[in-house]
Structure 1
Amino acid sequence: MKLKGIHHVSAITASAAENYMFYTKVMGMRLVKKSVNQDDVSVYHLYYGDQKGTPGTALTFFEFPGTSSNREGISSISLISFRVRDDKALEYFARRFDEFGVWHEDIAERAGRKTLYFKDPEGQRLMLVSDNGAVSESFIPWELSSVPIENQIMGLGPVRLTVKEPGDTLYVLTEIMGYRLKGSYRAEVQGQKDIIVLETGEGGSGTEIHLEERSDLPFERQGYGGVHHVAFRVEDEAELREWISRIDDNRIRNSGFVERFYFKSLYFREPNGILFELATDGPGFDTDEELEFLGERLSLPPFLENRREYIEKVLKPLDTAVRRS
C-alpha cells in the first residue's frame, strides 16, 4: 500500500473567467472539467491538466468571488510547481511570460533542478521545473494547446509545505503516509533552516513534498492566490479504504470515504493544519464527457443533476468552448 505521488492541487481564485484565460491561453493547459464545488454548488470548480486530466497533472480552482487576497504564512501550501520537459521549455516560458506581462524571476537551480519561479495574476506562487529531458509516460499532450507540444506542462512537480514545527508533519508523512527522506537544499530566506525533500512511490519530481520550516511568519490567511489542499494518488477504491483504516488506527480525525464521482477521496489535516486528500486514480474526468469536448459544458455528478436548473441559474456564465479550425 503505497501512495503514487501528487494527484492534484486545489487553489482559490476570485474570478473563474480570468483564471480560465490565464491557465488555458498563457499556460497552455486544458480545462478538463467545468464543475461546481460539491460542498458549495454556488461556485465553480475548474480543473486543468493534460489532454484528459491524467492523475498527477491536475491543478484545480475553487472560485470564491469577493474573497480577499491570500496572506502568506505558515501552516500552508506555499508553492505549486509544474514539470516541463527540459531547460529549453523553461526558456520558452520565460520569453512567453515577458510577452504576456507575467511576473517571474530568472531561471535558477533549486534542489538540483533548473526552475523558473513566477506568479499568476492573483499572486499564486508557482514554479516550472525542468525534468532534464525526461519524457513522462503518463503525460498526454493536448494538440489544441496554445503552447507547442515540446514545451507543454507535463504534470505537477514538487509541492512545498511551510510550517512552524516540522517534526509532527514529518512524522505523518514518513511514518503514516510512507514518504521517505530524499535530501535537502538551502532555504531561500536567510537565517531559515534547509528545506527537506521527501518522495514516495517510484520517486521523481511528481512525487515530491518539500517541507519548509519558517520561524518568521504568521499563520497564513487563505484567499485568492492561496492553496486550499493537496491530494495524493491512491490506486483504487479498495486501497483507499485501506488508507482510511490506517488513518483511523492512528486516531487522525478525517472525513471518511467521500464520493467525488471523478475519483474517490479521504480528507484529513496534518498536525500543522494543512488539508491533505487521498484520491483514487479513477474513474477519471472522461467518465461523463467525450474526451474531445472535456470542460466545454457544465458537468455535474449524478447526485447533483436534480439541482442543475438551480445551479445554472446562480452561476455566472463562463464560456469555455474551444475554437477549432
Structure 2
Amino acid sequence: MEFTGIHHVSALTAKAPENFEFYTKVMGLRLVKKTVNQDDPSVYHLFYGDDKGNPGTELTFFEIPMLARNREGTNSISAVSLRVPNNEALSYWKKRFEELGVEHNAIVERAGRLTLAFRDFEGQRLILVSDQENSGVQGGTPWINSPIPEKYGIIGLGPVTLTVQDAKATESLLTNVMGFRKKGFYSSFDQQSNISIFETGEGGTGAEIHVEERKDLSPERPGRGSVHHVAFRVKNEEELRQWIKKIEEAEIPSSGFVNRFYFYSLYFKEPNGIVFELATDGPGFDTDEDISRLGESLSLPPFLESKRETIESFLKPLDTTQNTVE
C-alpha cells in the first residue's frame, strides 16, 4: 500500500467572510464545499480546491470566531505549499502580492524548486511552489471562473513542512509504518537546521512531507493562522480499512474508521503530536451538489440534515456566490 500524495490540509481561521474573500478573490481558488465542522456543527468548515475539488487540491479551514493568534513553534505544520504551473507564474504572483499588499518574501529555490513564501491576512504560512520540474503526481485544473489567468492558476497542494522537536521519531513513523521514502534534504534559510524530504507514491511536488527538527523552540500554541492537520490520499475504502489494521498493529491510538460523507477517514497523531489523517479519494464533493454550483449553499451530511435549522441558527450568514469572474 502507498499513499498517492497529499489529500488535503485543514487550517484555522477566526473570520470566515474574510477567509472566503482572500482565498477566492486573491488566490483564485474555488470554494468547493461550504459545510460545518462535523465534530462541532456550530462552526463553518470551508473547502477550497481546483475547478472540481479534486483530492490533492483541497485547502480547508475551520472557523473558530474570536480565536487568538497562533504562537508559532515546534510540533506543528509550519508551512503549506500551493502548486503553480511554472516559474513564470511565480513572477506573476509576486507582482500580484505587491499590488494587493499581501505579505511575501523573495522568490528563492527550495528543495530544487523555485518558491515564493507569503502569509494570508491572519498570518497563515504559505508557499507557492513551481511545478515546472515536477515529474511525479500530477496537479489539478485551475478554477474556470478564477480571477487568476489559467496559465498562472493554483493547481493543488505541494510539500507540507512539519517542524518538530524529535525528528527521528517522526521519520521512523513515516518510513517504517506509512511507507514514505527519504529523498534528501536542504538547509533552512536561517541555517539553523537541515530539512529532510520524504515522498510517497509517484513522488513529486504533490507527494512530499518536509521534516525540520528544532530543539531550540517551544511547542506551538495553535490559534488563527495555524494548521490543524494534514491528510494523505488513500485510493478507496477497502485500502483505508487495511491502513486501519496496520495502524492498530503498530499500536498507534487512532479514531478508527470515520465516515465524513465526502470521503472516509482515519485520524491519529505522529510522535510529536501533529494530527495525521488518511482520507479516501471519494465519494467526492459532487455527491450532494451539482458540480456547477459547488460551495454556493450550506451542505450538511445526512446525519446532520435533521438538525439544519438549529445549525443554521448558530452560523452567521455567509454569501458564497462565486460564479463570476473578477
Q: In the TM superposition, what is the alpha-carbon distance from 1:142 to its structure 2 partner?
A: 1.7
When the two structures are superposed, what TM-score results if normalisation uses the length of structure 1? Answer: 0.98
CA deviations over 1:237-293 (Å, ceiling 9, x no partner): 000000000000000000000000000000000000000000000001111000000
Which residue of 1 is the match for residue 98 of structure 2? 98
Does the 8 Å contact 1:54/1:138 carry over to 2?
A: no
Distance 2:207 2:298 in 1: 31
Which residue of 2 is the match for residue 55 of structure 1? 55
Q: Which amino acid aligns with 2:97?
A: F
Matched residue of 1:107: which SS?
strand
Q: Which amino acid aligns with 1:322?
A: Q
Which residue of 2 is the match for residue 176 of structure 1? 177
When the two structures are superposed, what TM-score results if normalisation uses the length of structure 2? Answer: 0.97
Which residue of 2 is the match for residue 157 of structure 1? 158
Q: In the TM superposition, what is the alpha-carbon distance from 1:294 to its structure 2 partner?
A: 0.1
Matched residue of 2:24: which SS?
helix
CA deviations over 1:92-130 (Å, ceiling 9, x no partner): 110111111001001001111000000000000000000
Distance 2:168 2:270 in 1: 11
Distance 1:104 1:254 in 2: 37
Matched residue of 1:106: which SS?
strand
Does the 8 Å contact 2:14/2:64 carry over to 1?
A: yes
Which residue of 1 is the match for residue 258 of structure 2? 258
Distance 1:321 1:180 in 2: 42
Unaligned residue ranges in structure 1 (runs of 5+): none
Does the 8 Å contact 1:77/1:274 carry over to 2?
A: yes
Distance 2:142 2:297 in 1: 21
Distance 2:293 2:195 in 1: 41
Which residue of 2 is the match for residue 291 of structure 1? 291
Matched residue of 1:198: which SS?
strand
Q: Which amino acid aligns with 1:225?
A: G
Unaligned residue ranges in structure 2 (runs of 5+): none
Please show how residues 13-32 of structure 1 align to structure 2 within 5 Å: 13-32=13-32
Please show how residues 122-137 of structure 1 align to structure 2 within 5 Å: 122-132=122-132, 137=138
Distance 1:17 1:45 in 2: 12
Matched residue of 1:157: which SS?
strand
CA deviations over 1:142-183 (Å, ceiling 9, x no partner): 211010111110100000000011111100000000000000
Which is further off, 251-260 or 213-222? 213-222
Q: In the TM superposition, what is the alpha-carbon distance from 1:52 to its structure 2 partner?
A: 1.3
Q: In the TM superposition, what is the alpha-carbon distance from 1:187 to its structure 2 partner?
A: 1.7
Which residue of 2 is the match for residue 240 of structure 1? 240
Distance 1:212 1:200 in 2: 18
Q: In the TM superposition, what is the alpha-carbon distance from 1:216 to its structure 2 partner?
A: 1.7
Please show how residues 192-203 of structure 1 align to structure 2 within 5 Å: 192-203=192-203
Distance 1:26 1:67 in 2: 23
Distance 1:221 1:322 in 2: 34
Q: Which amino acid aligns with 1:252?
A: I
CA deviations over 1:29-87 (Å, ceiling 9, x no partner): 00000000000000000000001110000000000001100000110000000110111
Which residue of 1 is the match for residue 217 of structure 2? 217
Matched residue of 2:106: which SS?
coil
Matched residue of 2:31: which SS?
strand
Distance 1:161 1:88 in 2: 28
Distance 1:267 1:11 in 2: 15
Q: Which amino acid aligns with 1:114?
A: L
CA deviations over 1:1-20 (Å, ceiling 9, x no partner): 11111000000000000000
Q: In the TM superposition, what is the alpha-carbon distance from 1:140 to its structure 2 partner?
A: 2.3
Which residue of 1 is the match for residue 38 of structure 2? 38
Distance 2:59 2:124 in 1: 12
Q: In the TM superposition, what is the alpha-carbon distance from 1:323 to its structure 2 partner?
A: 4.4
Does the 8 Å contact 1:234/1:280 carry over to 2?
A: yes
Q: Does 1:280 align with 2:280?
A: yes
Does the 8 Å contact 1:85/1:134 carry over to 2?
A: no
Distance 1:296 1:322 in 2: 7
Does the 8 Å contact 1:28/1:146 carry over to 2?
A: yes
